[in-house]
A = this chain, B = another copy of it.
Amino acid sequence: MPDTPLLKDLLSANSEYARTFDRSELPLPPAKKLAILACMDARIDVHAITGLREGDTHVIRNAGGIATEDALRSFIISTELLGTREFLVVSHTDCGMLTFKDRDLQDRLSKKYGTNAEKINFNAFSDLEENVRTQVQRIKTNAFIPKGTPVTGFIYDVKTGKLNRVT
A129 located at the interface, meaning its Cβ lies under 8 Å from any Cβ of chain B in the complex? no
Cβ of A49 and Cβ of B86 under 8 Å apart?
no
In the bound complex, how far is the Cα of B11 from the Cα of A40, in angstroms?
A: 21
Cβ of B159 and Cβ of A24 under 8 Å apart?
yes
By the criterion of a CB under 8 Å from any partner CB, how many residues of chain A are at the interface? 90
Contacting residues of chain A (58-103) with chain B, CB-CB under 8 angstroms: 58-63, 66, 68-71, 73-74, 76-78, 80-82, 86, 88, 94, 96-97, 99-100
Residues of B within 8 A of A15 (CB): 162
Binary interface profile of A, 113-133, with partner B (CB < 8 Å = 1, else 0)?
A: 101010011110000000000
In the bound complex, how far is the Cα of B11 from the Cα of A52, in angstroms?
A: 11
